[in-house]
Structures are given as structure tokens and as C-alpha cells.
Amino acid sequence: MSDLSTTTSHVSLSPWGQAWRRFRGNYAALVGLIVLGIVIFTAIFGPAIYGIDPFEMVWAPFSPPGVDGYILGTDYLGRDLMAGIINGARVSIIIGLSAAFMSVVIGVSVGALAGFYRGWIEEVLMRITEFFQVLPTLLFAMVIVALFGASLPMITFAIGIVSWTAVARITRSEFLRIRELEFVMASRSSGTRPLRIIFSVILPNALPPIIVQSALMVGSAILFEAGLSFLGLTDPNVVSWGQIIGSNRQYILDAGYTVTFPGIAIFITVLCISLVGDGLNDALNPKLKDR
Amino acid sequence: MTCFTAQHSLKGGFPVNFLQTLLVRSIYAIILLLAVLVLNFSMMHLAPGDVADTIAQANGGADAEVLEAIRTEYGLDQPFLVQLGRYIGNVMQLNLGYSFYYREPVTELILQRLPATLLLVFSAQILALLLGVLLGVISAQKPNGITSHFVTFIALFGYSAPVFWTGILLLIGFSLQFQWFPVAGMRDVTIEGGFFVKTWDVIVHLILPMITLASVFLALYSRLTRATMLEQLRTDYVRTAYAKGMPHRKVVYQHALKNALSPVITLAGLQFSAVISGAVLVEAVFSWPGLGTLAFTSIIARDTPTILGILFFSALVVIIGNLLTDLAQKLVDPRIGGIE
Amino acid sequence: MRHIFKDLMAATALASIVATASYADEPKKGGTLVTVLGSNVRNLNSAVQSGIVTGFPGAQLFASPLRYDENWEPQPYLAESWETSEDGLTVTLNLVKNAKFHDGTPLTSTDVAFSVEVIKANHPFKSMFAPVETVETPDAHTAVLKLAKPHPALMLAMSGQLMSIIPKHIYGDGEITDVKAHPRNNENVVGSGPFKLVEFKNGEHVILERFDDFFIDGRPYLDKIVMRIITDPAARAIAYENGELHMGAFESLPRIINRLKGVDSLTVTADGYGAIGPLDWLAMNTSKGPLSNVKVRKAIAYAVDKNFISKAIMQGTASDSTTGIHPDSPFYAAQDGYDLDLEKAAELLDEAGFPVKDGTRMSLTIDFGWPGVKPQVEYVKAALKKVDINVEVRSSADFPTWAKKMGTGDFDLSWDTVFNWGDPVIGVHRTYDSSNILKGVWSNTQSYSNARVDELMAMAAVETDDVKRKALYAEFQAIIADEVPVYHTNTLPYHTVYNTEKVGNPPIGIWGTSTPIDMTYLK
């Protein structure tokens, strides 16, 4: 009896459910997910809970960590570094998510259309993809931000516009594979409208590698933003981790903690995203488990 | 480009088709570069402000009259297409314009700095590849061993930590604390000596920036190698080799690895754009006199001709990098016509 | 007999002590000085290019008629003597007879006349030689400058990097305005200074070596100067510490200055910047909005705490400054300044008609001229919040964009660092002269206009009597401190760092490194 029930419970789980099971078993990915959850929680609720304005000068400058109740110390203007890190989480996450979202939308569209329609549409779209692939990403983004202003939307746009090619390639590759499968051929020959085939038939099956890539893109968008901020191409009215590193760079010699803590924050966030991405990969592509 | 070759896989004679592909690819590359030029030129044109402002500011400011005169002199009042046409025409003759900020022809300026960046980019890629493949192979043989996890950890660190942060840490650690490496720049100008002494000097300066840049890509290459190696080690082909009594080493390195390398090399080729981006940040940290620092100062100074020139050259480097990667691909496994 | 012998002994002993002492101070010839430039130098021709980065190599390659000592007294250089006429309208320079350019061509008065023309046409500092109408050359070694009006500032303008004498036979091959982009500005540069150019690698270094035919016998002492280009301040700090760099000027980051002060092998001094006269300031656009009201400007001055800036941001490395003239200048007249007084600030704002409405009185934007002053900008934002003024920080990714904003008056507040360049006529007048309103960046971008101030400046420009001149500038400084179109808080704490054991006679005179370092030597 017990055997039957276990067998039944296995059979009744959807592919997504099975994937989740696998993910759960991956301890590294779980830890990553939990920590990531903490980071996101901090980004959303942190500023309200912690209460200190990261721009306000609350104490003597360069107060070392742990002194006088300021856990992470103060920076060159006497501003609370902890407040900077908590508020910075918001900007970093927002930019990370938005830029990744933009890249995914563009990339999936391009890849799907190319992979589905083939022929000259595919040629043109692939040329465009290779064109963007050849552009030096950081330099191009730097130029965009320098020319059109360093506001949050512009930075997001600049990051998004140079990062979509990987998603496009993967999407197209998946579409090429899936469109030849029997059930898809059936839809195609039965006269279903192409857009419907793309979105309802092929795309859901192409999702696994796209999801994995999207997750990794959030991480790389965060790193990208940090790089731009480090170089000074940042919105001066908001705090971001990369910006804290950039403005404190000249103090690394004896106030290194001002650079170390935001660096650790970025590192942990991106690391967790990578772990979760890996976990998703293992969970969604069990056959390619060791990739 | 890689897609292109999939349709022209190597059938028939190796040499003839090889040259053919090379020719076709080169023409294609030129078209691609032109497209890059047009896009970048248009973008700079779109932006508020123009070169006249830059020139005027470089001369300490100017009023409306002088600005108009500058515009006429440099043909900035011409319609956009005319300017674009003229620019492309110049580029075809290898004239990238004149930098108002540096007061030097752009081509000269870039060619002065290009070798430094090339050195950094290629040495970092090669280091990351060699080390990554090695570590990948080792950890593939014992997928759950300590070495494997250690490798994954180091690789993940390199990837997740912002490259400039890694650079700063290495700088503090090895230049300041231990004083093993110099702090900035590409060479010590005060050193007297012949070719070998000077080369060694550059190498010493190169080590920290190279390691910093390579650390980012180590993760990718080592993990992909590990994955493809694991796959290879499970194939019938490999099992047959074992069964035939071939020594373990030979199986791994001569048979499995050869097949496993292809995807890794492809990946490396696709990373060139990212490597150049990383190089910009590494150059900033180590004051490495390459295109990255030039790009940064040019952007700050709104030196349009130089910015365009750098974007152009970076695209060129990426394209050449892709080409070389495909060549390397053919060396490793001539059967493969191109991966997509 | 015996006491004569004793006296003799004492005398000999004394003599030998004196002899050894002076022997220890005797400059040694030879060696390579490794120094640094903090940003990339674009142009080595200081006759057409201003700025301290060009000034350092420029002053080694090119010579000027005069040089100044630490007491602001002019000394002979290319001009072995000079006279000014009674009416102040004629200045005669008697040039040394043996000055040669690096290519062997003798330097003559024709080159001096040519250089003045070039500088007038190309150099951004128009006020330096504006009153010079012609330069006559009665003979090869006499140059006579004819002025339209008396011009006491001319003396300082003939020193440092401000009047580099360039060879006519090289730069005179085209139009005068072509010199600005002349190919010989960056390679094969030929001047008559103590050092000649060996190599200039853009972004990497400038290498100079001794000019053996320099017109001052026995000088320079150094064989070679290597100026490495290292833009990262922390990297420079490490290089000073581990001995990679012997000397460096224009270090301004307080934290790094204090750190280097703690290193035994180094001497860190604030000397050497009196003539360059770098000042930090908060500029306020008087042409629009609330800032046109002097009470609002005063309120802002009361709200921005100089003390905090000096102690916290500058970490004690900067000096106080209350006017537009640098404290080291002989013309400086200290004012009372605006100490922190939030109540007074609030009062003034109320009086000016800007009460608190919905938690704020007004909104202003603030720009900044270079990344180094970002801390001050962020501080102003926070400080003004305390008197309910909302400040938005605007960043310009590139210099021309910012310069354009300033030049066209498209700003409210701006924090910047500006230099005096020796005589107030050169670097100070441009800020307050009503005829210089909105003529590009670093002109009177505040649109400030005060007839009395204009008058004072005009009189001081032609006043040859030092005492009278000081009085004129004293009144001038009192007025601008009161009307505060520009709020002066402190000097920019430029410091020179050098290795105490190795570097002798470092360039810490009034022009700092913008002067020939022919007397510097390696111990």
C-alpha cells in the first residue's frame, strides 16, 4: 500500500513540481536562495526599518566599524555605511532586475522570431545579434550614459541594450530544437496562428535554459552597474554599492572597510544569484545535470 | 559569424574551403565594422551638445560667434548624412580623425595604446583558458572531491566579485603589503637594459592586472570544461578506449579533452567583448596605459573622434578575437565546421 | 706663542666645520629624478596650454624672462635685468647673451616678441598680456614691451609657466593661431629651458634630460627627469611609500596627505602653491531665482559650515580662506567670514521672502567642477537641508557639458576649485568683472555686477604703487565678501611630497613645479 502511494505521489507531480523537488535538494542553491531572499527583503523594507538616511552626516568621518554603535563605521563625510549598504541594496536590485528584464524581453523576442520563422528573418535578426555581440559592452554603455545622462532609467537602458545577445542565442537555439518536435509540427500544420504557437506551444518548453540565463543576467547586470558607478557614471542622488566603492576608492589605504563592505555586499548577492542559477539549471535540466 | 560558418561546413578539400571561408568572413567583418561605425556616429550625433562645444571648452570657452565659426570650419553644419559619409570615407582611408583634446590624430593615439590593451586582454584570456581547462579536467575526474569544490569556490569568487574590487584587493595585498609587484603602469622607465630586461619588467607589471582580469572568466571556463569532460568520459568512445587498455592519462588528455575543448573555445571566443569591458576596469585600477584609460578620459572630455575611434577598434579586436577563436577551433578539431 | 697656536687651532676647527657643513649642502650633479603627473598631459607647449599638468614639463622645456623666489621677489632668468619706465607704459627686458634653444639656435628678442604674440592669440588667460600693444626689438638681446596702460601684473605674468619663450623658427611656420595645434607641441619639442625632451608617451610618461648648453653655467644638476603619469591617487601614495617615486606635487586628497605625513622617509609640505593660489569655492548664480537676493546667498554662507569642511572633509590639511585672493598672496586681506549660524540663516531666508512651506523653502541644483570636490557637494546638500533648502546634485559625465552649463549660466550652485595664477589680475578679476559675464567657463559665470568692484579692479590693475594697490584690493575683498556671489571656504590643500633622503632643493617656491627645477638635485 505504501509503495503504491509513493508511486502515485511521484506520478502526480508536474514537471515544475519535480524541478522544485530537485532544487530543494541542492543545498548550495537553497542557501543561495535564502540569502538572496534576505537581500531582497533588505532592499524593500530595510531603509524603513533601519531609519538612518544614508546621505545624512551622523558622526565623525572615518569612524571605524563597531565604534559608537555604527556597525560598519562611517565614510568620508561621516555618513553611516550600514545605511549606505542597506539603501544601496535597493538601487542595485532594481537596476539588476530591470536591466535583466529588458534584456530578456528583447532577447527572447529576437531569438523566438529568428528560431521560429527561419529564412531571411532569421538571417537579419542573427546579423543584428552578432552586431550587438561585437560591440564592447562596457564602453558602449559608458558612452550612452555619458551622452544622455546618468539617471537610473538611462543606466538601466544602457545595461539592458548591450546584454541581450546571450538570451537571444539561447532562445533561438531552443526554438530551433523544439519546433521540429512532433507536437509542434502538429500545431504548425493544423494552421494555428504563428504567434500562438510561439507563445503557447514552443516558449513554455523553451523556458528552462532561458530562466537560468535570466537569473544569471540579474547578477551580471548588478556587476555592470557596479562597474559604471565605480567609474563615476552614476546618479549622484541615489546610493548604490558600486558608487560607494567608487567614491571611497581613494581611501582604501587606511579606511579600507569603506570599500570592503560594499564589495562584499555585491559579491554575496551575485554569488547567491549564481548559486540559485546553478540550482535552477540542475533542477530544470536533469539530464544535463553536470553542466 | 559562427552561425555563418554552420552553413559552410568543411566538405571536400580542406585548404580551399578554409581560404574561402576566411575571405567571406573578412568581407563580412568589414560590413559589421561599418555598421558599428554608423551606429556609433549616429549616437554621438543624437546626443545633446556637439564637438564645437568640446573644442570651444578646450580653448577656455567661447561665445556664439566663435562656436558658429568652429562649426563651419569642421563641417558640423552640414547635413547628417554628409557628415556620416565623410567620416566613413575617412575611415576607409584609415583616417579616424583628429582629437581636439589630445591634439593628435586619433589613429596614432589609439595605436599607441592598443598594444597595452591587447597584451592584457589576450594574456588574461589565455591564462583563464589554460588554468580553467586544467582545473576543469582535474575536477572532472573527481567530481565530488575536495579539489573540485575548491575549484568551484575559487572560480565563483572570481566571477561574483566585481573585477575592480578584486583588483584593488590584489593591489593592496601584493603591492602594498608585500611589495612584490609594482603599483601602477606597464613599465619602469628608469630601468636600463636590453630587450630581456625590459620584457621582464613589462611581465612583472602585467602579472597582477592579468590575474585580476582572468579571475572573472576562470569560473566559466573551468565549469564548462568540467561539464563537457564529464560528458565525454561517459561516452562509448571513451569507454572503448579504456576497454582497449589505453592508459588513463592518454584517454583523458588525448581523447576526451580534444572533444571537450570545442565548446570551451567557442565560449572563450564569445567572451571577448566581456573581456574588453573587464579590461577597462582593470586598467583603471592599475593605471595600465591601454585603450580603457584612453576611453575614460575621452568620455570625460567629450572627445568625440577619439571615442568613436576606440569603439571602432574595440569592435575590431572582438571580431579578430572571434576569428582567431574559430581558427583555434579548427586546429583542435578540423572536423567541426562551426558551432552554434 | 702658545695661545696663538690655540687660536689657530680653534680657527682651523671652526673653518673645517663650516667647510664640511657647506660641502654637505653642495648639490650633487647627476641622477634621474622620478616624479609624477596626476593626470594625462595633452600638450607640452605651455605658451598655448594652461594648467598645472602642462606647467611642470613646460617650465622645464621652456624658459621665461623672470623667475620668482620664495619672497615674491622677481629674479633674473632669461632677462638678466629689466626696467620699467616712470609712467609704467614701457618695460624693457635685457636678455642674457648666451641663451640657446635645444637645437642650438640662439634665443633672441625676436623669439620674445613672437612668443608674446602667440600667447596673446592662443593662451586662455587673456588678461595676462592684453595691455601689451607691441614688443619692439631694437637689438637681438633687448625686448621692449609697450603697454596701453600700466600693468603691474605683468611682472608675475613673465614668470613661471605663464610666459614660455618659444622658438620662432619652429613655431612660426604658419598662422599665429595654428600654434595651438602645432605638431611640435607634443614631439620634438624645442625650447630653451634647462631640460630637453627625450620621449613623450601619451598616458605613460614624459622623459626629459639635461640640456648641456643651458645658459646658466653648471645647471641643471639632474641628468634626467622621468614624469610618470599615474592618475590614481592611491597608487601614487603607494609609489611614494615604497620609493618608486622620489617626488610629486599637487597631492590634494586629505586622507592621503595625512597618511604620507606619517611616513618617515617622506616630507610633505604645503609650500609651493602661493602663486598658483588654488581656492575652493561655492559659486552662486546671481542672475536667477532666489540666489539673486543677497540675503539668500548670505544665508547659504551661514548654513555651510567652513569648520566642518576644514576639519572633517579636509582633515586639517587646508587653510582658511575668506576672499577670492589666496591667503599666501601679498594682497590677501582676511575678512570675518561666515561662521556656522543656522538661526541667522533661517532668519535671513524668512526676511528674503522664502518661508518654510510644506517642509521646504526652495529647491536648488548644485553642480561640481571635478570629482575631487564631490564630498563638499554632498555636504552642501546635507547642510542646506538643515535650513530647509532642497538641493539636487547634478552630475555632468564630461567636462565640456559641465563647462557649457557654467558658461551659459545654466546652474544654481556650483562647487569648484579655481586658481589665482599669481597676480589677481590674471586669475581673480575674471570672476568678478561685469564685462566678463558668461564668457565661458571660469569667467564671471555668476553674472555678478558691482560698479564699485569694477572700478576698484580697474584701478588696481594699473596701480604701480604696491601700498595703494593693497588698499584697493582690501576694499575689493571686503565688498565681495559682503555680497558673496561666491562663498569662499578654504584653499585647496595642494601638497608636495618628496623623499627627504634623496631629493635636495625640491621646487617649493611660489610657483611650485611650474618653474624650472634646475637647482633640484639628488643626494
- Cβ of C382 within 8 Å of Cβ of A57? The answer is yes
In chain C, the residue whose alpha carbon lies closest to the alpha carbon of A256 is C234
* Strand, helix or coil for residue C90: strand
Q: Please give the grid coordinates belonging to residue C416.
A: 569648484
- Cβ of C228 within 8 Å of Cβ of B102? The answer is no
Name the pairing type of β-strands C521-522 and C362-368: unpaired
How far apart, in whole angstroms, are the C-alpha atoms of residue A21 and residue C256?
A: 54
Calculate the CA B25 to chain-centre distance: 19
**Count of CB atoms within 10 A of residue B168's CB?**
24
Does the beta carbon of C386 lie under 8 angstroms from any beta carbon of chain A? no
Does the beta carbon of A140 lie under 8 angstroms from any beta carbon of chain B? yes
Q: Note the residue count of chain C.
A: 523
Q: Please give the grid coordinates belonging to residue A233.
A: 557614471
In chain C, the residue whose alpha carbon lies closest to the alpha carbon of B100 is C181
Q: How far is A138 from chain C (nearest CA, A)?
A: 15
Q: What is the pLDDT of residues B174-197, one digit of tens each?
A: 877 777 777 777 777 767 778 888
Q: What is the pLDDT of residues B293-323, one digit of tens each?
A: 888 888 877 888 888 889 888 888 888 888 8
Q: At what angle do helices B163-170 and B272-286 cross, to 10 degrees?
A: 40
How far apart, in whole angstroms, are the C-alpha atoms of residue A266 and residue A274?
A: 12
Please name the residues in contact with C444: beta carbons below 8 A apart, sequence gap of 6 or more: C430, C431, C432, C433, C434, C436, C437, C438
Q: Which residues of A touch B44 (CB under 8 A)?
A: 143, 147
Residue in A135, A143, A256 nearest the CB of B299: A143
Q: Which residues of A touch B226 (CB under 8 A)?
A: 290
Interface ipTM: 0.82
Percent of chain B with pLDDT over 70: 85
Q: Note the residue count of chain A.
A: 291
> Cα-flanking dihedrals φ and ψ of residue B45, to 5°?
-70, -35
Please name the residues in contact with C129: beta carbons below 8 A apart, sequence gap of 6 or more: C116, C119, C120, C154, C157
- Is it the case that residue B249 has pLDDT exceeding 80? no
Strand partners, C94: C81, C142
Give the best residue of C313, C395, C413 to mutate against chain A (max A CB count within 10 A). C395
- The single-letter DSSP state of residue B94 is T
Give the best residue of A143, A218, A228 to mutate against chain B (max B CB count within 10 A). A143
Chains that touch B (3 or more CB pairs under 8 A): A, C
- Cβ of A134 within 8 Å of Cβ of B273? The answer is yes
Q: Which residues of C touch A232 (CB under 8 A)?
A: 371, 395, 397
Is the separation of the CB atoms in B106 and B99 below 8 Å?
Answer: yes
In chain A, the residue whose alpha carbon lies closest to the alpha carbon of C315 is A61
> Cα-flanking dihedrals φ and ψ of residue B271, to 5°?
-85, -5
Does the beta carbon of C238 lie under 8 angstroms from any beta carbon of chain B? yes
**Count of CB atoms within 10 A of residue B90's CB?**
15
Please name the residues in contact with B87: beta carbons below 8 A apart, sequence gap of 6 or more: B37, B41, B97, B308
pLDDT at C20: 42
Q: What is the pLDDT of residues C114-128, one digit of tens each?
A: 999 999 988 888 888
Per-residue buried b or exposed e for B238-273, using 16+ beta carbons within 10 Å of the residue's own CB: beebeeeeeeeeebbeebbbebbbbbbbbbbbbbbb
Does the beta carbon of C400 lie under 8 angstroms from any beta carbon of chain A? no
pLDDT at C25: 60
Q: At what angle do helices B195-233 and B106-141 cross, to 10 degrees?
A: 40
Give the best residue of A233, A237, A247, A248 to mutate against chain C (max C CB count within 10 A). A237
Q: Which residues of C touch A57 (CB under 8 A)?
A: 308, 312, 379, 382
DSSP of B244-283, one letter per residue? TT--HHHIIIIIIHHHHHHHHHHHHHHTHHHHHHHHHHHH
- Cβ of B161 within 8 Å of Cβ of A231? The answer is no
In chain C, the residue whose alpha carbon lies closest to the alpha carbon of B290 is C203
Q: Which residues of C touch B185 (CB under 8 A)?
A: 204, 228, 230
Maximum CA extent, chain A? 74
Is the separation of the CB atoms in C346 and C502 below 8 Å?
Answer: no
How far apart, in whole angstroms, are the C-alpha atoms of residue A43 and residue A89?
A: 5
Q: How far is A73 from chain C (nearest CA, A)?
A: 15
How far apart, in whole angstroms, are the C-alpha atoms of residue B39 and residue B45?
A: 10
Q: Note the residue count of chain B.
A: 340
Residue in B48, B227, B277 nearest the CB of A136: B277
Calculate the CA A167 to chain-centre distance: 12
Residue in A56, A235, A255 nearest the CB of C382: A56
Strand partners, C497: C248, C268
C321's enclosing H/E stretch is none
Q: Please give the grid coordinates belonging to residue C376.
A: 563638499
Give the best residue of B28, B117, B164 to mutate against chain A (max A CB count within 10 A). B164
Does the beta carbon of C378 lie under 8 angstroms from any beta carbon of chain A? yes
Chains that touch A (3 or more CB pairs under 8 A): B, C
Q: What is the pLDDT of residues B63-90, one digit of tens each?
A: 666 677 777 776 777 778 888 888 888 8
- Cβ of A249 within 8 Å of Cβ of C381? The answer is no
Q: Which residues of B touch C40 (CB under 8 A)?
A: 297
Q: At what angle do helices A257-284 and B146-160 cross, to 10 degrees?
A: 120
Per-residue buried b or exposed e for A9-31, using 16+ beta carbons within 10 Å of the residue's own CB: eeeeeeeeeebeebbeebebbee
Is the separation of the CB atoms in C43 and C49 below 8 Å?
Answer: yes
Q: How far is C354 from chain A (nearest CA, A)?
A: 24
Please name the residues in contact with C152: beta carbons below 8 A apart, sequence gap of 6 or more: C88, C423, C425, C461, C462, C463, C464, C469
Does the beta carbon of B310 lie under 8 angstroms from any beta carbon of chain C? no
**Count of CB atoms within 10 A of residue B180's CB?**
11
Name the pairing type of β-strands C90-95 and C32-37: unpaired
Is the separation of the CB atoms in A136 and B271 below 8 Å?
Answer: no
Angle at B207 between CA B201 and CA B213, to 5 degrees: 140
pLDDT at A62: 79
Q: State the distance between the two ends of chain B, measured CA to CA, in whole angstroms.
A: 10
Residue in A55, A236, A254 nearest the CB of C382: A55
What is the residue-level pLDDT of chain C in tens, covering all 523 positions? 455 555 555 555 555 444 444 444 678 898 999 999 988 888 899 998 888 899 999 999 999 999 998 888 999 999 999 999 988 899 999 999 999 999 999 999 999 999 999 999 888 888 889 899 999 999 999 999 999 999 988 999 999 899 999 999 999 998 888 888 888 888 889 999 999 999 998 778 899 999 999 999 888 999 999 999 888 787 888 889 888 899 999 998 888 898 899 999 999 998 888 888 899 999 999 998 899 999 999 999 999 999 888 888 888 888 888 888 998 888 999 888 888 999 999 999 999 988 888 888 999 999 988 877 888 898 899 899 889 999 998 887 777 788 888 888 889 999 998 898 888 988 899 899 888 888 777 888 899 999 999 999 999 988 888 899 999 999 999 999 999 999 999 999 899 999 999 998 899 888 989 999 999 999 8
Q: Which residues of C touch A147 (CB under 8 A)?
A: 397
Angle at C364 between CA C360 and CA C366, to 5 degrees: 140
Q: How many CB pairs under 8 A join B and C?
A: 116
Which of B210, B207, B179 has its CA nearest to residue B282? Answer: B210
Burial of B146: CB neighbours in 10 Å, binned 0-12, 13-18, 19+? exposed
* Strand, helix or coil for residue C395: coil
- Cβ of B59 within 8 Å of Cβ of C180? The answer is yes
- Cβ of A259 within 8 Å of Cβ of B40? The answer is no
In chain B, the residue whose alpha carbon lies closest to the alpha carbon of A225 is B162
Is the separation of the CB atoms in C253 and C370 below 8 Å?
Answer: no
- Record the pTM: 0.81
- The single-letter DSSP state of residue C27 is P
Which of B294, B287, B281, B185 has its CA nearest to residue A231? Answer: B281
pLDDT: which is higher, B157 or C167: C167
Which of A22, A102, A31 has its CA nearest to residue A276? Answer: A31
- Cβ of A234 within 8 Å of Cβ of C395? The answer is yes
Contacting A residues, span 59-88, partner chain C, CB-CB under 8 Å: 60-62, 76-78
> Cα-flanking dihedrals φ and ψ of residue C498, to 5°?
-150, 155
Please name the residues in contact with A87: beta carbons below 8 A apart, sequence gap of 6 or more: A46, A47, A54, A238, A239
Q: How far is B246 from chain A (nearest CA, A)?
A: 25
Give average pLDDT by consecutive 10-residue segment, chain A, 291 residues.
44 73 79 90 86 78 77 82 89 91 93 86 88 88 86 91 91 85 78 78 83 88 90 84 83 79 92 87 65 40
Does the beta carbon of A101 lie under 8 angstroms from any beta carbon of chain C? no
pLDDT: which is higher, C118 or B255: C118
Strands (E), C243-394: 247-251, 266-269, 278-284, 362-368, 389-393
pLDDT at C98: 92
- The single-letter DSSP state of residue C100 is B
Contacting B residues, span 107-126, partner chain C, CB-CB under 8 Å: 109, 112-113
pLDDT at B9: 41
Strand partners, C208: C197, C225
- Cβ of C399 within 8 Å of Cβ of B189? The answer is no
Does the beta carbon of A223 lie under 8 angstroms from any beta carbon of chain B? yes
Task: Please name the residue that has the C-alpha cell 569507454.
Answer: B239
- Cβ of B1 within 8 Å of Cβ of A130? The answer is yes
Name the pairing type of β-strands C142-147 and C90-95: antiparallel
Give the best residue of B101, B103, B117, B170 to mutate against chain C (max C CB count within 10 A). B103
C-alpha distances in angstroms, C299 versus C38, C59, C275, C344, C419?
Answer: 37, 43, 31, 7, 26
Does the beta carbon of B181 lie under 8 angstroms from any beta carbon of chain C? no
Q: At what angle do helices C399-407 and B51-58 cross, to 10 degrees?
A: 80
Q: Count how many Cα atoms sit within 13 Å of the Cα of residue A238 in the half-sphere of its side chain.
A: 23
Is the separation of the CB atoms in C361 and C387 below 8 Å?
Answer: yes
Q: How far is C388 from chain A (nearest CA, A)?
A: 14
Q: Please give the grid coordinates belonging to residue C509.
A: 617656491
pLDDT at C357: 87
* Strand, helix or coil for residue A74: strand
DSSP of C167-203, one letter per residue? -HHHHTTS-GGGGGG-GGGTSS---SSSEEEEEEETT
pLDDT at A286: 64
Contacting B residues, span 29-68, partner chain C, CB-CB under 8 Å: 49, 53-54, 56-63
